[in-house]
Amino acid sequence: MRNPLADVPVPLLDDLIDDEYVRSLVVGVVGTLGLLGLFGLLFPGSVAGDLAGIVFSTSTAASTARLAAPIVLAGLGGIFAEKSGVINIGLEGLLIISAFASVYIASVVGIGNAVLGIPAIWIGFMAGIAASTLLAGVFGVVCIEFKADQIIAGLAVWLIALGLAPFMSTVFFGGVNTPNLGANVGWRYSAVMVVVATVASWWALNRTAFGKHLEASGENPKALDTVGVSVSRVRYAGVLLSGVLSGVGGSALALSIGQFVGSGETMVQGKGFIAIVAYLFGNYNPLGTLGAGVLFAGLDATQIRLQQLGYAVPDTLVQTIPYVVVIVVLALVGRTRLPAAAGDHYETEE
Amino acid sequence: MNPAVHLDGITKRFPGVVANDDVDLEIERGSVHALLGENGAGKTTLMNVLYGLYRPTEGTVVVDGEPRSFASPRDAIDAGIGMIHQHFMLVDPMTVWENVVLGNEPRTWGGLRVDEAAAREAVVELSERYGFDVDPDARIADVSVGVQQRVEILKALYRGADVLIMDEPTAVLTPQEVEELYDVFEELTDQGKTIIFISHKLGEALSAADEITVLRDGVKVGTVASADVTREELAEMMVGREVLMEPATTPREPGERVLEVTDLHVDDDRGVEAVSGITFELRGGEVFGIAGVDGNGQSQLAEAITGMREPASGSVDYLGEPMAGVSRRGHIDRGMAFVPEDRHERGLVMSYDLVQNGILGSQHDPPFASGGRIDWEASTEHAESVIEAYDVRPPNPDADAEDFSGGNQQKFIVGREFERDPDLVVATHPTRGVDIGSTEFLHDRLLELRAEGKAVLLISSKLDEVQGLSDRLAVIHEGEFSGVVDPATVTEEEIGLLMAGESLADETVSGAAIHDALDDGLGGSGADGADDVEAGSDRETAADGEVDA
């Protein structure tokens, strides 16, 4: 097979390397990992050695991919919505609803069965995307058509999903946790989806006319309107894309285990909010979002493995790292700038 | 040959208002046509009809001999009409070329990629053809307002516009940029484009336009060739009566000392000293004017006097009382009125209606407050009286401030502040953005306050205004008074010297310095560069209606 990137002209690579933000992130991550690896090689018995063993093990990679998928994909979705001018803080809700819907539909079809030749688990996957997109669509109508406050509507999306998913699980399965399907989607699929979605998003935002319209819609919607492009349509597209991408993330999360866990904060456990952190950290750049998502997921995966090795790492503390990071980034670095018209409603004149 | 645009009997009615009444307009191809009128005369409405934003209630738009019915600006664009709004419709973080092609991007790869090379080439080609000096890769946020305006023009040209409508194109430009804009007009008309621009400035219409159409109260007063008409005739057409060229001041005996400012030092927001040791006093029945190029400490001085900014050192005594530590509300309660320079930031709450805006600052006091509640009936009456007395249009106290034009917002603020029954009025740029008829009225009101024995501190960059109204005139330069002069005897050149920071005794100043200072600061639009008597500066009187620096 031909390398699909062979067609990509040099400017693309130039752009990537030129992006200072991406560069510093890459240098930071690679540098840290390199140091860790060196330490691990030199002192195999030390904590660093253990750490290096964990970080470079396949099982940690698998766990990172599994945990990163919902963060990165929802984060990419959040970029599309927010760039268009609609702040979608309901990403968490979209992940929850798609996680549940994917497992539920897969179990309705029945593992081992297929529809139109598609195995049940992938039918479930698509159902998860559909559910998330539908909920995002409702959010879009409420925000764009009825001009509701985006933050409140976003919170409502989260709270609705947080209540609805465990409730439906109880109705259909007799408990907030669904039984395990006994089949799952391998972590390599998650990894591929994350990478493909990241590159595709980068392209869409930076190279297509749609990307320019999104940016204009979030920065100065009137400028877009006066050149004859419908601001509402661009914003609906942004919000629906956030639904689609979050749906992929939520389905991947649940189906990688084959079960929906609905107790407490559900199995999504704030990944939708970390997704917001990830894209802010990545300064609305999909590549930066990927880096941040992998970093946060990697920390979480490492922490879990350390626990298993008997280190008493306080997991709640590790889980606060993304939030601490975002506050530091927003307060000190200050390079993240919200689109000028994000959160504002737009109305065409007469 | 058909005229480029023919508006045939256009009437546009809004509920309760006739904005345009049977207006006929023919515009020659390749000409510059000025649409002149006061605030609310219906100029912008008429152009919005031509641009497809509004549908006319009656009448037809004929473009190039063909009757058209525009459902949206898109249709107007397709018919070759482009509009450049007063507030630019540009996306700040995007580049020049991205803005120019926005919505009409050339594409490759089956639509999956914007053809950057083609887009940039098209922009460069247009830019060169019309002699614009624009870097296609510069970000909008990084370029000057003049360049942004050219980007807007490029946007219209890129979409194939033959007729360009420009709404108050000089309002945001420096005098030098205005001159450049006139060059652009010339270049465009040489190549067959037609320009219609909306203005309320006489000088601008006379120097830039071939023909001038005057609108008043939605009705066309007439169309004249700019070569055959004088300022006075135009002013009379706009206002509907003869306009006094000079406000009439009479000498008066100053009364009690109202304000005493001693060695005042004030820092700006960045902590840099903006006012460096200013001392003066102001008595009742006196207008003390401060002239100067914008940004020489006028704002900080006004804020320190009105209690909005803590002075770094020095004192402000008001009615014999030191004002250090007195709150902003304390200043208002003691009868100090303030017309701020930024009406959107400090003068009005844009999302409040005029009833609410009318009591801002007085909301604690009777008759507006009673028993901890606001008396809306009294407030509405108050708003209505200000609207009537100051001719705010449309006369609707329930409309939000943001729905009024800038000039009408300004009239309302000035009215609110003047009607406070103050002992001292601090007025910064009180007539900025106000049309000539209203400017004349506001000047008269200011002189009435003076006649009532009030003290007035007038800060303005319009030289004719400060010179014509003040009893004493100070010129401020880099936070210090470079001189205090008698406005009746001082010459324009002398003021120019002071504004440039020279002292009057100094003989070594070059002519260029004077000219620069005049160009930069005297409130002029530079529209009258060709006019020998007024070379370089804006010595138009109130009658001229040059209203914005």
CB contacts of B107 in chain A (<8 Å) are 209
How far apart are the CA of B476 and the nearest CA of chain A, in angstroms? 37
Per-residue pLDDT at B230? 86
Q: Write the DSSP assignment of A151-194 as a string of letters.
A: HHHHHHHHHHHHHHHHHHHHHHHSSSSPPP-S----HHHHHHHH
Q: Which two tokens stand for residue B261?
A: 């400012």
Q: Is A25 a member of any domain?
A: no
CA A293 vs. chain centroid, Å, equals 8
B277-309 pLDDT, tens digit per residue, is 999 999 998 999 998 877 788 889 999 999 999
- 10 Å CB burial of residue B23 (0-12, 13-18, 19+) is buried
Candidates B48, B70, B77, B89: best to mutate against A (most CBs of A within 10 A) is B89
CB contact under 8 A, B94 and A219: yes
Q: Is A287 a member of any domain?
A: yes
How far apart are the CA of B103 and the nearest CA of chain A, in angstroms? 6
- Name beta bridge partners: B376: none
Candidates A84, A220, A335: best to mutate against B (most CBs of B within 10 A) is A220
Over 50: is that where the pLDDT of B537 sits? no
**What is the length of chain B?**
549
Do the Cβ atoms of B451 and B252 come closer than 8 Å?
A: yes
CATH number for the domain spanning A85: value is 1.10.3470
Distance CA B100, CA B159 (A): 9
Over 80: is that where the pLDDT of B137 sits? yes
How far apart are the CA of B226 and the nearest CA of chain A, in angstroms? 32
Domains B5-239 and B243-335+423-437+451-513 share a fold: yes
Q: Which two tokens stand for residue B184?
A: 């652009």
Confidence band, pLDDT 50/70/90 cuts, at residue A2: very low
Confidence band, pLDDT 50/70/90 cuts, at residue B95: very high
Query: Domain residues of chain B, as ranges?
Result: 5-239, 243-335+423-437+451-513, 345-421
> Rounded mean pLDDT of A14-42?
65
CB contact under 8 A, B105 and A219: no
How far apart are the CA of A154 and the nearest CA of chain B, in angstroms? 25
HSE, side-chain direction, 13 A CA sphere, residue A44: 1
Cβ-based interface (< 8 Å): residues of A facing B: 203, 207-209, 212-213, 215-216, 219-220, 222-224, 226-229, 340, 349-350
> Rounded mean pLDDT of A75-87?
96
Do the Cβ atoms of B326 and B305 come closer than 8 Å?
A: no
Q: Which two tokens stand for residue A79?
A: 């970029």
Q: What dotted CATH number matches B243-335+423-437+451-513? A: 3.40.50.300
Q: Is A146 a member of any domain?
A: yes
Q: Is A347 a member of any domain?
A: no
A240-279 pLDDT, tens digit per residue, is 999 999 999 999 999 999 999 998 889 998 999 999 989 9
CB contact under 8 A, B98 and A209: no
Q: Which two tokens stand for residue B30?
A: 């390749």
Q: Write the DSSP assignment of A38-100 as a string of letters.
A: HHHHH-TTSHHHHHHHHHTSHHHHHHHHHHHHHHHHHHHHHHHHHHTT---TTHHHHHHHHHH
The amino acid at A332: L
Per-residue pLDDT at A98? 97
How far apart are the CA of A36 and the nearest CA of chain B, in angstroms? 39
Candidates A212, A214, A233, A337: best to mutate against B (most CBs of B within 10 A) is A212
CB contact under 8 A, B90 and A223: yes
CB contact under 8 A, A223 and B89: yes
Confidence band, pLDDT 50/70/90 cuts, at residue B249: low
Residue in chain A lying closest to B72 (CA): A228
Per-residue pLDDT at B35? 93
Range of the domain at A63: 57-333
Q: Which fold has domain B5-239?
A: Rossmann fold (3.40.50)
In this complex, the residue of B74, B93, B114 whose CB is nearest that of residue A208 is B114
Q: What is the pTM of this model?
A: 0.72
Q: Is A34 a member of any domain?
A: no
Q: What is the ipTM of this complex?
A: 0.81
CB contact under 8 A, B73 and A226: yes
- Name beta bridge partners: B157: none
Name the average pLDDT for chain B. Answer: 84
Cβ-based interface (< 8 Å): residues of B facing A: 53-54, 72-74, 77, 85, 89-94, 98-99, 102-105, 107, 111-114, 155, 159
The CA-based diameter of chain B, rounded to the nearest angstrom, is 81
Q: Is A3 a member of any domain?
A: no
Kind and range of the H or E run holding B313: strand B313-318
| Cβ burial B66-97 (10 Å sphere, 16+ → b, else e) | eebebeebbebbebbbbbbbeebbbbebbbbb
Q: Which two tokens stand for residue A333?
A: 């670095």
A220-236 pLDDT, tens digit per residue, is 999 998 888 899 999 99
CB contacts of B155 in chain A (<8 Å) are 227
Domain count, chain A: 1
B155-177 pLDDT, tens digit per residue, is 999 999 999 999 988 876 766 78
Per-residue pLDDT at B546? 38
